[in-house]
Chains A and B, each alone.
Chain A
Amino acid sequence: MLGATARIEAVRRAEVVQQWADGVLVGACLHFGTLQVRNMATVGGNIAHALPAADLVPALLVLDAQLELARATPAGDCVRRNVPLDGFATGPFTTVLQPGELVTAVQVPARTRTWRAQFRKIGRVVKDLAQVNCAVALQVEKQRVLSARLAVGAVHPTVTRVPAAEAELVGGEIRGADWSARVGRAVDAVRSFIRPISDMRATREWRRHVCGVLLCRSLEWVADPHRAGHVPRYEDGQSYRVGVQGSGDG
């Protein structure tokens, strides 16, 4: 459970977050603006803003996050409700929030703790908003994918999961004979699902292409049995990959 007013930097430093699902949330926090911004920005703010390029949201989507909302009635009572993060944003800067309603907390289910997951982002510079970001999470047992989550940001009116692409991966054998074919079909499904725009950061064609590339790389990373399990860091100032120090993978 993350409180809505938790600062991004505090989340990044929390041990439980670093251990959770390959530290996918830490990866998102690491790419979240400058230290100053991470000390000011909050989890609830990043979600409620409903920016299509929000960095925390893909990571929270692949962790099946639920939101706790609250609003005060004229009589002074507090009305709470829970909604899935998936579907909370209805478009750029619009959400299902009622007038006067606040995001008060984010709940991440305990079962996602052991999932393999990764967040990736590419921007003009590290501190800028994402040109494209994505997160993937796989639940794997005996090399078999039991469930899959793919979420992409900055390529669609909202940060979004792509269930059709997830379905291509479920049941597959990690690095089995048809694994790369499955990954290819998943990427195709994402590319045909998303509706990216062209703006000062990137063109829609570039976004559509790079989105697939990032997903491929993340899927390769999570499928790698030898991937290092520690918290992802920047490799260098020029790199946007949440790779692992010294691994040099791409």
Chain B
Amino acid sequence: MSSEQHIRPGRVPLSLVVNGAHHTFQVRMQDSLLDVLRREGWKSVKRVCETADCGACSVLFDGSLVDSCSTLALQAEAGRVETVEALAGTELHPLQQAFLQHAAAQCGFCIPGMLLSMKALLDAEPEASEADLREVMTLCRCTGYAKPLAATRQYREGLADSRGSR
């Protein structure tokens, strides 16, 4: 059976690398990247405002932080997407570890977006200022920001230490 026969009416194929693995999804033209990722099982990508304000749907697309709610799925064709599932290997990522130590999550809903945002910022600017951290912080409706910021600061200092020891 040729692959064309699998295409459902009104759907087109989309090739994506998600967290290192190649996938081909059948998507509608109007699907956002968020729609596709959630439908295909990456439920860590959260649907909240859908207007690119809150950051809960943040993913890394070809290495840069974007809001998946405001990226058309078909714009992502042949791209590389990373969700929070890609952060941990056999052990938690140091940033996740720091969040855990600081008990930085309450309901946890915004945390995947927060982790990816903070990681993306500090990957690009390891010495990001407090103002930068606050600016990139995902909106949270329950925990507040003190603990996530404290966790991120600890992670940032860890980055500085590992640079110093090299």
Q: Which residues does A use to contact B, with CB under 8 Å?
A: 7, 9, 33-37, 39-40, 126-127, 233-237
Identify the closest chain A residue to B117 (Cβ).
A35
Identify the closest chain B residue to A30 (Cβ).
B135
Q: List 24 A-B contacts (CB under 8 A).
A: A7-B64, A34-B52, A34-B67, A34-B135, A35-B65, A35-B120, A35-B135, A35-B136, A36-B55, A36-B58, A36-B66, A36-B117, A37-B67, A37-B70, A39-B61, A39-B64, A39-B66, A40-B67, A40-B70, A126-B135, A234-B131, A234-B135, A237-B131, A237-B134
Query: Given A9-B64, A126-B135, A235-B131, is A37 in contact with B121 using a C-beta cutoff of 8 Å?
Result: no
Interchain CA distance A33-B71 in the complex, whole Å: 15
Digit string of B43-58 for contact with A (CB within 8 Å is 1, else 0)? Answer: 0000000001101001
A34 x B136 contact (CB < 8 A): yes
Chain B contacts of A36 at CB under 8 A?
52, 55, 58, 65-67, 117
Identify the closest chain A residue to B129 (Cβ).
A233
Chain A contacts of B121 at CB under 8 A?
35
Number of interface residues of B (CB under 8 A): 20
B71 x A236 contact (CB < 8 A): no
Return A118 CB to nearest CB of chain B, in Å. Answer: 19
A34, A36, A39, A40 interface centre (most CB from chain B within 10 Å): A36
Q: Which residues does B use to contact A, with CB under 8 Å?
A: 52-53, 55, 58, 61, 64-67, 70-71, 117, 120-121, 129, 131-132, 134-136
Chain A contacts of B52 at CB under 8 A?
33-34, 36-37, 40
Interchain CA distance A36-B138 in the complex, whole Å: 10
Q: Residue A236 contacts which of B55, B61, B70, B131 (CB distance < 8 angstroms)?
A: B131
Q: Residue A127 contacts which of B53, B65, B66, B71 (CB distance < 8 angstroms)?
A: B53
Interchain CA distance A40-B34 in the complex, whole Å: 14
Cβ-closest 5 pairs across A and B: A39-B64, A36-B67, A234-B131, A237-B134, A35-B136
Chain B contacts of A7 at CB under 8 A?
64
Q: Residue B135 contacts which of A39, A40, A237 (CB distance < 8 angstroms)?
A: A237
